[in-house]
């Protein structure tokens, strides 16, 4: 992402920029789903966990549910509840180029909700890598989110983004970041409260107090957007630009 100072600069005090809100936590009616399918394991053991019969799988485990394949070292499969607990070298793949890795996973096949945990849980898609410790992935809404800090590497590791909370929508390549959002590139730095990005369109929206530093220039605004393809940016709400030669103010 390149923030150009050839800016279409609107001096507006209360201009509203909108971005559609969607919360992955929204509850949906639970419907009957297909059962998880065991594709392979080196060893099978019938076990019981908390009074529920389980099948313990050990070694080179592969489990399928709909379009997703789970790989891991060992797992418990609970056919009665259509759930899976997986451990060791956990990796989830599907028909796209996306994969998620972690140390452990709990999967609810009825909700199609995966909870991944680990020292470094990673979601990789194209040249984007998201790293966090706690990641949930809702396959019904097709959204992944973290809430305890995450780091994203983009553009062949040229850009780094960190935030406390983040949501990623693989279908649209849209990402939403909240709380202490920081972007660092070789050309600029951004500090903001909330940022929405449309990665394919290279379009970013800023919400809340935002500081952008590029060379000796400083931009401040409380809302705005930037189109990296056209090199056009708009900053509104108490916006001002400071350069070594001059200052521009908007209120």
pLDDT at 8: 42
**44 pLDDT exceeds 90?**
yes
77-98 residue pLDDT tens: 999 999 999 999 999 999 888 9
Q: With respect to residue 121, please indicate whether it lies within any of the assigned structural domains.
A: no
Stretch 93-109: mean pLDDT: 96
Stretch 25-34: mean pLDDT: 61
pLDDT at 30: 52
* Domain count along the chain: 1
**140 pLDDT exceeds 50?**
yes
Q: With respect to residue 39, please indicate whether it lies within any of the assigned structural domains.
A: yes
Which residues pair with residue 251 across a beta bridge? none
Mean pLDDT of the chain: 87
Cβ–Cβ under 8 Å, residues 81 and 90: no
Assign 190 to helix, strand or coil: strand
**117 pLDDT exceeds 70?**
yes
The total number of residues shown for the chain amounts to 251
Q: For residues 24 and 142, what is the distance between their CA atoms, to the nearest angstrom?
A: 9
* Chain CA centroid to CA 50, Å: 33
* pLDDT band, very low/low/confident/very high, at 246 (cuts 50, 70, 90): confident
Q: With respect to residue 62, please indicate whether it lies within any of the assigned structural domains.
A: yes
**168 pLDDT exceeds 90?**
yes
Q: What domain range is 74 assigned to?
A: 32-109
CA angle 240, 159, 164 (to 5 degrees): 75
pLDDT at 177: 98
Stretch 59-85: mean pLDDT: 97
Q: With respect to residue 205, please indicate whether it lies within any of the assigned structural domains.
A: no
Percent residues over pLDDT 70 in the chain: 86
Two structure tokens written together for 210: 């935002």
Q: With respect to residue 165, please indicate whether it lies within any of the assigned structural domains.
A: no
This prediction's pTM: 0.84
Stretch 142-151: mean pLDDT: 98
Q: With respect to residue 42, please indicate whether it lies within any of the assigned structural domains.
A: yes
Two structure tokens written together for 139: 């396959």
- Tokens 């065991």 locate to 38
> How far, CA to CA in Å, does 172 sit from each of 41, 69, 121, 142, 251?
35, 22, 22, 10, 34
222 φ/ψ angles, rounded to the nearest 5 degrees: -105, -5
Q: With respect to residue 92, please indicate whether it lies within any of the assigned structural domains.
A: yes
* pLDDT band, very low/low/confident/very high, at 251 (cuts 50, 70, 90): low
How many C-beta atoms lie closer than 10 Å to residue 234's C-beta? 20
* Chain CA centroid to CA 163, Å: 10
Q: For residues 86 and 74, what is the distance between their CA atoms, to the nearest angstrom?
A: 6
């Amino acid at each position: 992402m390149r923030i150009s100072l050839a800016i279409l600069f609107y001096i507006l005090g209360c201009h509203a920029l909108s971005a559609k809100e969607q919360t992955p936590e929204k509850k949906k009616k639970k419907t009957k789903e297909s059962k998880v399918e065991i594709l392979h394991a080196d060893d099978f053991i019938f076990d019981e966990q908390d009074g529920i019969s389980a099948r313990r799988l050990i070694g080179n485990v592969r489990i399928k549910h709909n379009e997703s394949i789970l790989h891991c070292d060992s797992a418990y499969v609970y056919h009665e509840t259509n759930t899976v607990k997986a451990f060791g070298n956990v990796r989830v793949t599907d028909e796209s180029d996306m994969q998620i890795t972690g140390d452990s996973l709990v999967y609810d096949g009825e909700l199609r909700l995966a909870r991944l945990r680990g020292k470094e849980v990673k979601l990789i898609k194209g040249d984007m890598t998201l790293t966090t410790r706690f990641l949930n992935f809702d396959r019904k809404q097709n959204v992944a989110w973290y809430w305890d800090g995450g780091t994203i590497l983009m553009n062949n590791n040229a850009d780094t983004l960190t935030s406390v909370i983040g949501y990623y929508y693989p279908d649209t390549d849209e990402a939403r970041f909240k709380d202490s959002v920081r972007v660092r590139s070789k050309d600029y730095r951004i500090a903001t409260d909330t940022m929405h990005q449309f990665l394919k369109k290279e379009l970013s929206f800023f919400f809340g107090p935002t500081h952008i530093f590029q060379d000796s220039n400083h931009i401040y605004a409380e809302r705005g957007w930037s189109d990296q393809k056209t090199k056009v940016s708009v900053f509104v709400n108490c916006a001002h630009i400071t350069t070594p030669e001059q200052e521009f103010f908007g209120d």
